[in-house]
Amino acid sequence: MGGGSIREDSLLLLKVADRVLQDYETVYIDKTTGMRYTSVEDVADRRNVRIGCKFMDWHYSTGILNMAMMEFSDFTGDPRYAGYAAAQVEYCLNTYLEFSLDDSGSAQDHRPFHFLRKYNELDHLGPEGAALIMLSGKFPDNAGKYEKYISKAAEHVANIQVRTEKGALARTWPIPNTVWADDLYMGVSFMAEYADRYADDSMLEDAVRQVILFNEYLWDARSALYWHGYYENMHRHAGSHWGRCNGWIMLAVVTLMDKVCKLGDPVLKERYLGYLMPLLVRQIDGIVQRQGPSGMWHQLLDKTDSYCESSATAIFVYCMARAVNNGWIDGTYASAALKGWDALCRTQISEKSELKNVCAGTGIGNDLPFYYSRPKADGEIHGTGLLLKAGMEIIRLKKNI
């Protein structure tokens, strides 16, 4: 089986999660002098520092990691991991206003916690907001602190975020009304969690609608893959068949199906699954055909001369294992998930128990060289939570087969 025994997989995940606990610290670095500050009160010029620990910031990747750590806390029965997520969020919410000195900041103002200060894109409030909802359930005494951020995120998703003429979540850049594949997960991660927690039928219906619309805009039937973007005002696709954006779409659908399966209304449940299931199976069938001989998937899924990329591989491993475990797809797909996990374990885990070869954050490029040359790094935070999710689901899969 991929990745070794269940015990070996469990030990690996413990090392990954414990590395997060070990490496987390609150530290700021002066951009000019390199001086380190462990307390915001000691920072001389709050306009000229950057966050010095990758786990500190308010970012969709930290939102994903916080959710994974809470799931890992349930998985292991160890409260330290959920406690980490609560402490990380508490620090952000208590500190971000320290860097909001005036109204002179521009859209390019990247002072610490700038996403939380702005809170005006799905990147800033989707997975992070979903993590807040999960934290509210785990730490009800703190729920009041989270409520205004959850409510603001819900209002933004429902009524403020830019949408296309058909109603798909969109952005104003690179050009107005750009549909980003990434945004299906950035939006649906929150929408699904919110609908489940607050029994909001309209939010759930909108989430299902987003999956359908994004498929209309981004699915490429020729390659059985998704494009990274669509420029509505230009009526053309944008970017490439980038690995992680295809992963975000699959993860969005799996996340939403988890919530739909909990519905008490059997008619609504059957209707929504009738929309979602064929789209998930269609994508998985396309993705399985792109898996490399090593078990990995590539940065550009249809370009085998692009590098093997770990975060997309982790997403596909998680989603396929989850789909098999839930009976959404048959057990023959388990081998692809297990081979992907085996490749991650054999070749992509560093001596520091971090995921290697993770692509950095990526905008929509105008040409293939843009995606070929996107930097990759070991321990890049985009991969940490995804690795934990993949490993937990693989262990469940191994127990089932």
CATH number at residue 326: 1.50.10.10
For residue range 200-221, list pLDDT tens digits in order: 999 999 999 999 999 999 999 9
The answer as to whether 270 is a domain residue is: yes
**Whether residue 330 has pLDDT greater than 90:** yes
Question: Nearest 5°: phi and psi at 151?
Answer: -65, -40
pLDDT band per the 50, 70, 90 thresholds, residue 2:
low
pLDDT band per the 50, 70, 90 thresholds, residue 109:
confident
The answer as to whether 63 is a domain residue is: yes
Mean pLDDT of the chain: 96
The answer as to whether 168 is a domain residue is: yes
For residue range 30-68, list pLDDT tens digits in order: 999 999 999 999 998 888 999 999 999 999 999 999 999
The answer as to whether 1 is a domain residue is: no
Could you give the number of structural domains in the chain? 1
The answer as to whether 232 is a domain residue is: yes
The answer as to whether 280 is a domain residue is: yes
CB 267 within 8 A of CB 233: no
Taking Cα atoms as reference points, which of 248, 366, 381, 376 lies closest to residue 309?
376
Q: What pLDDT, on a 0 to 100 scale, did the predictor assign at position 177?
A: 96
- Which amino acid appears at position 217 of this protein? Y
What is the mean predicted confidence (pLDDT) over 356-384? 97
Q: Rg (Cα) of the chain, in Å, rounded?
A: 20
What is the mean predicted confidence (pLDDT) over 297-324? 98
The answer as to whether 246 is a domain residue is: yes
**Residue 155: which domain range?**
6-101+109-400
d(CA 153, CA 115): 13
d(CA 203, CA 209): 10
Establish how many alpha carbons lie within 13 A of residue 343's alpha carbon, considering only the half-sphere containing its beta carbon: 24
pLDDT band per the 50, 70, 90 thresholds, residue 104:
low
